[in-house]
């Protein structure tokens, strides 16, 4: 079932029409379908079940508590990259023993908190971090389970800025060095090396990249085992690509599942994956109202009330997101229309030359596939308020993050009296 479809002339999220929702909530807002989230998770769980692979949702893709809680209830763990995400996963009810801590620059405070919580595993990204964890584990006198994140030197990812597994990327540790650290950890009283981890990039549409990376991690696991050490866990990262364009292909999931099965068989390890985008992208849209229509030379603009600060992917990665009018306009002519926001930057564009019918001020449009890396990457640039998030299930909905007031947005600032103090001194 498609979570967002036209019925009675209006685009619906599940059974709620987005025009009614826009009146209730005000625009712009993100809307997630609980049904779609569930459907995605269960589909992936079915593919990973034969290999016994665990799924840890990469919270960075969408860290709304309602989203984490929904996936957690279905059995997902969480992959987190900061204390904030770790606290969110715990607050959403994900048990600590299903939480993985990834990330290239964890602070002492963050590591201490993770150790205190007794999470499933910390993925180590550098020797500095490794030494820090040994020290903290000694101080805490508790066993800390670590995996070494290796750099498999595989080039993958839908965009230069989201490729992470190449030799020159900042992520992971070179294989030989990681193996030496693994051995070092095995001799330590309070640190238990439980496996290897990797993440080669995001928005990967071809299984070949995973195949190469899985081979590489299996080889490295063999090298570790040759030292007489065990490698009970392999964390394979996320990166599963979705179709943002109608004509695009998603990652062939069945084939990916087969790769997991053969890796599990070959290594005997318990496998884990950390998908973010694949679970949530298609389950969310950004709903926005047209503020103005204007022509600039050849280009027709629809200026809407959402902007780059609400959804930065088109500006940052030239990412494509489809635009769907809320009012169904099936048989009317369409013209290339560039959908732009009110932020004072020419790059504040949500879609370039989207095929859209004639729109007028007051019309509602939705930006599709916005459930991943949408709300989480938002900022308050241009004095704009973070937009609300709404979750729909069937004909019911709930505001799962409310719009703050301007007073709330300003409340963290203060005007100091440094000048008065200086002149008094």
149 versus 393: smaller Cβ distance to ligand LLP: 149
Contact present, 135 and 115 (Cβ < 8 Å): no
275 binds ligand LLP (CB under 6 A): yes
* Known catalytic membership, residue 344: yes
Residue with Cβ nearer ligand LLP (157 or 325): 157
Count of residues engaged in binding ligand LLP, rule: CB under 6 A: 21
Query: Which of 28, 165, 276, 388: binder of ligand LLP (CB under 6 A)?
Result: 276
Q: Which stretch binds ligand LLP (CB under 6 A): 67-75, 224-232, 249-257, 269-277?
A: 269-277
Of 240 and 326, nearer to ligand LLP (C-beta) is: 240
The C-alpha angle 96, 97, 101, rounded to 5 degrees, equals: 70
CA angle 83, 89, 94 (to 5 degrees): 140
- Which segment (33-41, 273-281, 288-296, 344-352) binds ligand LLP by CB under 6 A? 273-281
Which one of the listed residues 254, 296, 330, 344 is annotated catalytic?
344
- Please list, residue by residue across 41-67, b when 16 or more beta carbons sit within 10 angstroms of its beta carbon and e when fewer do: beebeebbeebebbbbbbbbbbbbbbb
CA atoms within 13 A on the CB side of 235: 34
The distance of closest approach from Cβ of residue 84 to ligand LLP in the complex, given in angstroms and rounded to an integer, is 15
* Residue numbers 214-243 binding ligand LLP by CB under 6 A: 237-240
- Tell me if 148 contacts ligand LLP by CB under 6 A: no
Kindly state the smallest distance separating residue 300's Cβ from ligand LLP, in Å. Answer: 27
The nearest distance, CB 276 to ligand LLP, in angstroms, is 3
Binding status of residue 61 toward ligand LLP by CB under 6 A: yes
- The CB density around residue 330, as the number of other CB atoms within 10 Å, is 7
Query: 268: left (phi > 0), else alpha (psi -120 to 50), else beta?
Result: left
Distance of CA 272 to the CA centre of its chain: 17
**d(C-alpha 217, C-alpha 348), whole Å:** 41
C-alpha–C-alpha distance, residues 420 and 403, integer Å: 36
Which residue lies nearer to ligand LLP by CB, 151 or 202? Answer: 202
Nearer to ligand LLP, 233 or 313 (CB): 313
Asked whether position 371 contacts ligand LLP by CB under 6 A, the answer is: no
Q: In angstroms, rounded to a whole number, what is the distance separating the alpha carbons of residues 248 and 284?
A: 18
Question: What residues are paired with 356 via a beta bridge?
Answer: 335
Give the three-state DSSP class for 79: strand
Site string for ligand LLP, 70-109 (x = CB under 6 A): ---------x----------------------x-------
Q: Would residue 112 be called left, alpha or beta, if left means φ above 0 and alpha means ψ between -120 and 50 degrees?
A: alpha
Contact mark string toward ligand LLP, 162..181, x via CB under 6 A: x-------------------
321 binds ligand LLP (CB under 6 A): no
314 binds ligand LLP (CB under 6 A): no
Q: Please provide the size of the chain in residues.
A: 425
Burial of 361 (0-12, 13-18, 19+ CB in 10 A): exposed
Q: Three-state SS for 146?
A: strand
Q: Taking CB under 6 A as the rule, does residue 277 contact ligand LLP?
A: yes
Residue closer to ligand LLP (CB basis): 51 or 82: 82
Residues forming contacts to ligand LLP in the complex (CB under 6 A) are: 58, 60-61, 79, 102, 162, 199, 202-203, 237-240, 274-278, 313, 317, 373
Query: Catalytic positions, please?
Result: 344
């Amino acid at each position: 079932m498609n979570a967002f479809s036209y019925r009675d002339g209006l685009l619906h999220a599940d059974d709620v029409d987005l025009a009614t929702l826009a009146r209730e909530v005000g625009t712009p807002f993100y809307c997630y379908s609980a049904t779609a989230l569930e459907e995605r998770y269960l589909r992936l769980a079915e593919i990973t079940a034969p290999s016994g692979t665990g799924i840890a949702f990469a919270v960075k893709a969408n860290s709304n508590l309602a989203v984490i809680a929904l996936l957690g209830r279905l059995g997902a763990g969480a992959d987190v990259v900061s204390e904030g995400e770790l606290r969110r996963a715990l607050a959403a009810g994900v048990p600590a023993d299903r939480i993985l801590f990834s990330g290239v620059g964890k602070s002492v405070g963050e590591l201490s908190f993770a150790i205190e919580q007794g999470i499933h595993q910390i993925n180590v990204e550098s020797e500095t971090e490794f030494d820090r964890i040994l020290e903290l584990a000694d101080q805490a006198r508790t066993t800390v389970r670590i995996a070494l994140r290796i750099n498999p030197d595989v080039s993958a990812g839908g965009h230069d800025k989201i490729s992470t597994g190449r030799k020159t990327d900042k992520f992971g540790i070179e294989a030989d060095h990681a193996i030496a650290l693994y051995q070092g950890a095995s001799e330590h009283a309070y640190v238990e090396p439980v496996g290897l981890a990797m993440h080669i990039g995001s928005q990967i549409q071809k299984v070949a990249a995973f195949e190469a990376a899985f081979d590489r991690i299996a080889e490295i696991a063999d090298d570790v085992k040759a030292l007489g050490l065990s490698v009970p866990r392999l964390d394979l990262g996320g990166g599963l690509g979705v179709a943002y364009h109608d004509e695009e292909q998603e990652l062939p999931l069945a084939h990916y599942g087969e790769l997991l099965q053969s890796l599990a068989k070959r290594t005997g390890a318990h496998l884990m994956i950390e998908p973010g985008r694949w679970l949530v992208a298609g389950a969310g849209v950004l709903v926005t109202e047209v503020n103005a229509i204007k022509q600039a030379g050849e280009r027709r603009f629809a200026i809407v009330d959402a902007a780059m600060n609400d959804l930065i992917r088109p500006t940052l990665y030239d990412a494509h997101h489809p635009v769907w009018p809320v009012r169904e306009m099936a048989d009317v002519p369409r013209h290339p229309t560039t959908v732009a926001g009110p932020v004072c930057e020419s790059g504040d564009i949500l879609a370039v030359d989207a095929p859209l019918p004639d729109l007028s001020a007051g019309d509602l449009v939705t930006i599709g596939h916005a459930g991943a890396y949408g709300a989480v990457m938002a900022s308050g640039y241009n004095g704009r308020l973070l937009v609300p998030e709404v979750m729909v299930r069937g004909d019911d909905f709930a505001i799962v993050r409310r719009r703050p007031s301007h007073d709330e947005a300003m409340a963290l600032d203060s005007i100091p009296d440094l000048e008065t103090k200086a002149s008094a001194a």
